[in-house]
Amino acid sequence: MRRIELGFLQISDTAKANVAEALNNNRLSTGKFIQEFERLFAAAHGCKHAIFCNSGTSALQIALAALKEKYNWADGDEVLVPALTFIASSNIILQNNLKPVFVDADPVYYNIDPLQIERHITPRTRAIIPVHLFGQSCDMDPIRAIAKKRNLKILEDSCETMFARYKNEWVGSMGDLACFSTYVAHLLVTGVGGLVTTNSDELALMSRSIMAHGRDSIYLTIDDDDNLKDNQALRRIIERRFSFVRMGYSFRGTELEGALGVAAMQSKDAMIARRRENGRILTEKLKSLEEYLQLPKILPGAEHSFMMFPVVLKPGLDRGAFLDYLETNGIETRYLMPLLSQPYYRERFGPIENDYPAAKHLSGQGFYIGCHQGLKTEDLDYIAHVFAEYFRHAKLPA
């Protein structure tokens, strides 16, 4: 039976050579590959800085901690986050002793609905976390207008979206900081990993410090005390290299992931182009089923990198039965980012799903399938065939 998996991994010869070089250099901590990966990634997203760490979730934790420290937010201050997103987007607010305030989703494009933001702002609101879900940018112009008007900071959660523009600006460059993930089954894969991007020198330095236990920024890599001919400079480093100036974490990545990242950057354009073409083909092939399916739409002025292909069943259709059919026929699926219905969130916040009707519908009737560059024409044909066969034979509501 054909298998249509959510992710795709192909280790190139360049990637293998890079990893071998890192090992031959006896280097696992930050070295030339991480530095080059950060440089390439920042440039590809129109940013001055990229900081590589061990996961997208860690990147979010670092970035929010940096904002909290820089702007002296108090515990319990509020951060707006979409009611439809991966749980990490909201968890990092709690982990920074801040309060998540949920905002309903756009029912057409699935990201945070800008029209719903202002009614959730209070005197304690400090920031907005727009999450670029499934490969597509949020509608950032109205979000930035609200943030400017209300003096709020913006932290872009771009863990599911890379190499995509919104009105000629790159995701990851439109907020105070942004965060990406290079986890398996994401767009650019290093196995594990994440990045913080920013155009602020101060926030970049703070992020590097927070990532490394809160260490004094005079000594953030093992190379910082090498080849110093100035004895006074060396003395300053010796005195401060075991000095910790803020709360921090052990969130550093390794040189092996950096080596994989440098190699992956070489094929990023082909990877994104293939995903976009697969998204276009799937949308076209499934168009005849729009009586039953809400297919993904691309926001005007934005690009979609199709980390996955999101689908929402029309009301009244049995998602469980349909996903059972897809999985039985080898098409892997995931629910469409349920957040407020998660057991821990129900326990912590109560039954609040009805306050966010768009998110409730999307998370209750939505799912996604793979759209990666490893899919061939016959795979896309097979997906369309399986979808059509189900609706040809299933018992559907009148």
For residues 166 and 305, membership in a common domain is answered with no
User: Could you tell me if residue 104 is inside a domain?
Assistant: no
User: Could you tell me if residue 142 is inside a domain?
Assistant: yes
Say if residues 263 and 18 touch (Cβ distance below 8 Å): yes
For residues 302 and 354, membership in a common domain is answered with yes
Give the pLDDT mean for 101-109: 98
For residues 132 and 21, membership in a common domain is answered with yes
Tell me, what's the pLDDT at 140? 98
Between 38 and 234, the more confident residue is: 38
For residues 17 and 69, membership in a common domain is answered with yes
Last residue of a domain, one of 266, 293, 324: 266
User: Could you tell me if residue 25 is inside a domain?
Assistant: yes
Specify the range with the lowest mean pLDDT, choosing from 248-252, 260-264, 394-398: 394-398
For residues 348 and 233, membership in a common domain is answered with no
Domain total of the chain: 2
Pairing of strands 366-369, 309-313: antiparallel
Question: What pLDDT digit, counting tens, does each position of 299-351 carry?
Answer: 999 999 999 999 999 999 999 999 999 999 999 999 999 999 999 999 999 99
Q: pLDDT-derived band of residue 216, with 50, 70 and 90 as boundaries?
A: confident
User: Could you tell me if residue 2 is inside a domain?
Assistant: no
Give the pLDDT mean for 197-222: 90
Tell me, what's the pLDDT at 226? 61
CB under 8 Å to 134, separation ≥6 — which residues?
110, 160, 161, 296, 304, 306, 307, 308, 310, 368
For residues 177 and 199, membership in a common domain is answered with yes
For residues 179 and 278, membership in a common domain is answered with no
User: Could you tell me if residue 84 is inside a domain?
Assistant: no
For residues 186 and 40, membership in a common domain is answered with yes
Question: What pLDDT digit, counting tens, does each position of 19-28 carry?
Answer: 999 999 999 9
CB 124: neighbour CB atoms within 10 A?
A: 14
Tell which phi-psi region holds residue 185, choosing left (phi > 0), alpha (psi between -120 and 50) or beta.
left
Copy the structure tokens of residue 17.
């050579």
Instruction: Answer whether residue 282 shows pLDDT above 80.
Output: yes
User: Could you tell me if residue 111 is inside a domain?
Assistant: no
Give the pLDDT mean for 211-231: 74
Last residue of a domain, one of 212, 246, 266: 266
Helices 201-211 and 56-70: angle between axes, nearest 10 degrees: 120
For residues 272 and 228, membership in a common domain is answered with no
For residues 169 and 291, membership in a common domain is answered with no
Tell me, what's the pLDDT at 138? 98
Report if pTM > 0.85.
Answer: yes
Instruction: Answer whether residue 224 shows pLDDT above 70.
Output: no
For residues 261 and 273, membership in a common domain is answered with no
Residue 300, domain CATH: 3.90.1150.10
Mean pLDDT of the chain: 95
For residues 241 and 335, membership in a common domain is answered with no
Q: pLDDT-derived band of residue 133, with 50, 70 and 90 as boundaries?
A: very high
User: Could you tell me if residue 96 is inside a domain?
Assistant: no
Tell me, what's the pLDDT at 232? 74
User: Could you tell me if residue 106 is inside a domain?
Assistant: no
Domain region containing 386: 268-393
Last residue of a domain, one of 246, 266, 286: 266
Q: pLDDT-derived band of residue 68, with 50, 70 and 90 as boundaries?
A: very high
